[in-house]
Amino acid sequence: MTETTESLETFRAEVRGWLEESFPASLRGRAGDVMASETIEAAESDALAWGRRLGEKGWATPTWPAEYGGGGLSQLQAQVVNQEIDRIGAFNPLIRTTGMGITMVGPTILEYGTEAQKQRHIPKICRGEVFWSLGYSEPNAGSDLASLSTKAVDAGDHWVVNGQKTWTSGADVSDWCGVLVRTDPDAPKRDGISFLMIDMHQPGIETRPIQLIGGASPFCETFFNDARAEKDEMLGELNAGWTVGKRLLQHERASQTGAVSGMGGGARTSLADLAKEYVGVDDRGRLSDADLRSRLTAQMMEAKAHGLTLARVAAEARGNAKVSAAASILKNAASRVAQNRAELALEILGHKGLGWEGDAFSAAELGAVREWLGGKAMSIYGGSFEIQNNIIAKNILGLPENTQRG
């Protein structure tokens, strides 16, 4: 069914009414506080109740099939939901509190999973009842991920997994982990990899958090010592995990470009308003620093162009599960936009952008410092800036392969 403008506006009124009734007033505009919680249980009771209501409604995953607990909405209807979530100062806490569940694992299960796997895993993700992590990179297999050595050996009714992963975000609090493992050591390295979904609540798994300069520890080292994975928890075919893993990375890069909506919380203070507050204006109401005015204008244009490109690419990709290099372009563009914004914000704050803690700085000022530090990782995680450029060069520009084949 094609939505008309009238039907969408009717739907918008329904969404607005439900949000006004269901979203706790105490949480309005506080997305940053709640989304910083690693699990929904760590948040306050109002956030817990809100996450439960949103999950039961299906609007935490608005376009996922209703038979698995999603909203069953069209892309246009989902856009309305996300617009209204943002308008009211609300947010979708399950994007964060399911770990990689909504942004990466869930969409991949929907594409490659068996019916039993979908029934087993997707409803729990939709309701925010499970936290997912991902085991991809290893100490000796980062950019060259296909060199991974974590192995899974067939033990009859299950797989036995041994090896080490690193940069496994949220592994220490996760319930499940999607892990790339080597199941055929004699095959060409990309052909001998499978994707296993592993229950993290077992004695054969150890996690060690890694401290970052931004003050948080979202990443872990993860060790598998005779860990168990059930036979029916392989996602996709045996030794075809490289394809599954690449598709999941496309979903990851999409989530890192701003293509995944629903973070909400209302619009944050614009750089222009921040500059007017901290730098000052002339007698015509313009920023007194002409050079800063020019650079802010350029950043705003870059961010707007990025947003419009995201919308176009999303429209072109609807219903197409083919792995595309477009996400690599957008991932790098998003990194530049976010990092440039953070740099400008700190410049605008001046000495107020030097704080780490203490009463001399506001929460927003301290948050800007942490955002600047944390943002440095954007050009590394999810495939480094350089690796994305290699993908773009090979798959879009058609340039010769410049990395080792395997």
Active site residues: 252
Distance CA 174, CA 199 (A): 9
CA 80 remoteness from chain centre: 21
Please list, residue by residue across 120-157, b when 16 or more beta carbons sit within 10 angstroms of its beta carbon and e when fewer do.
ebbbbbbbbbbbbbbbbbbeebbeebbebebbbeeeee
Burial class for 363, CB neighbours closer than 10 Å (0-12, 13-18, 19+): exposed
CB 161 within 8 A of CB 206: no
Distance CA 163, CA 227 (A): 9
Backbone phi and psi for residue 81, each to the nearest 5 degrees, phi listed first: -55, -45
Nearest residue to 132 via CA among 230, 262, 248, 253? 248
Distances in whole angstroms, Cα of residue 302 to Cα of each of 55, 116, 242: 34, 44, 34
